[in-house]
Amino acid sequence: MASSPPLQDRVAIVTGSSRGIGREIALHLASLGAKLVINYTSSSNHADSVAAEINSNQTTPRAITVRADVSNPEDVKSLFDTAERAFNSQVHILVNSAGVLDAEYPTIANTTVESFDRIMNVNARGAFLCAKEAANRLKRGGGGRIILLTSSLVASLKTGFGAYTVSKAAVEAMTKILAKELKGTGITANCVAPGPVATEMFFEGKTEEMVKRAAEENPFGRIGESKDISPVVGFLASDASEWVNGQVIRVNGGYV
């Protein structure tokens, strides 16, 4: 008898999943049997195409799209409400992949207050709001997973990424505390911290020289790809990862 996929019919919300790493994570979780909420903030076109890819050849839809700004508490609550209604189930898995950075790559001395606030708002406040909602609403007693994307920059501490790195360091500290506070629920909380990955956000504002340098700094001699990250998230979302809790997993090919 064929065994069922590891995430069979578990409901997963992936924020920022209309493109980049989030998109690849959503597609991967769907391939493991999960039902997906594809979250986006601006244009629905990319999100719709991800959902269509998951729903092709399915008798009943296994993916829906939901517009929500992760920095807005009402939007985050609505994201979970919509997921529960659509799939008639509690949410099992939250992956927070939504994030922004300053593509001018300013030093801290030259970072504007507006830029700092925007980055903290989406990256730190957004992760807090999503994790807070998940901690209160994910299925208890097993299979509950909170996975927050941070960055290997928290370890490499490169110049030009000050506000972004600060926002991700805050998320890593919060996750470690959250894992302890969720004692008795069966819900785990972990961070996945990619190094440079070939996404629109990575390439924005970078010269060819900067990209080449990032590739050369890696033992593999290349930039990461979204598909390098998604299987690690897939593992953390599954029952196989139950004993991994409160951890930051740096997925960067040895870059840091």
User: Taking a C-beta distance cutoff of 8 angstroms, is the pair 218, 225 a contact?
Assistant: no
166-202 pLDDT, tens digit per residue, is 999 999 999 999 999 999 999 999 999 999 999 999 9
List, in order of start, the domains of the chain with CATH numbers.
Answer: 11-250 (3.40.50.720)
Please check the confidence at residue 70 and state whether its pLDDT lies above 80: yes
Q: What is the mean pLDDT of residues 100-113?
A: 97
203-256 pLDDT, tens digit per residue, is 999 999 999 999 999 999 999 999 999 999 999 999 999 999 999 999 999 999
Average pLDDT, the chain: 97
Q: Which of 40, 105, 164, 255 is catalytic?
A: 164
Please check the confidence at residue 141 and state whether its pLDDT lies above 80: yes
**CB neighbours of residue 174 within 10 Å:** 18
- pLDDT for the residue 116: 98
Percent of the chain with pLDDT over 70: 99
> What pTM did the predictor assign?
0.97
- pLDDT for the residue 85: 98
Bridge partners of 224?
Answer: 197
Q: What is the mean pLDDT of residues 74-90?
A: 98
Q: How far apart are alpha carbons 94 and 200 in whole angstroms?
A: 23
Q: Which two tokens stand for residue 174?
A: 């919060």
Helix residue spans in the chain (DSSP H): 20-31, 45-55, 73-87, 113-119, 126-137, 153-156, 162-181, 200-203, 208-216, 226-237
Please check the confidence at residue 66 and state whether its pLDDT lies above 80: yes
Q: How far apart are alpha carbons 254 and 2 in whole angstroms?
A: 37
145-170 pLDDT, tens digit per residue, is 999 999 999 999 999 999 999 999 99
- pLDDT for the residue 167: 98
- pLDDT for the residue 3: 86
- pLDDT for the residue 1: 66
105 catalytically annotated: no
Please check the confidence at residue 102 and state whether its pLDDT lies above 90: yes
**Nearest Cα to Cα of residue 36 among 107, 75, 87, 77:** 87
Bridge partners of 250?
Answer: 193
**Nearest Cα to Cα of residue 233 among 142, 170, 145:** 145
Q: What is the mean pLDDT of residues 125-137?
A: 98
Q: Give 221's DSSP letter.
A: S
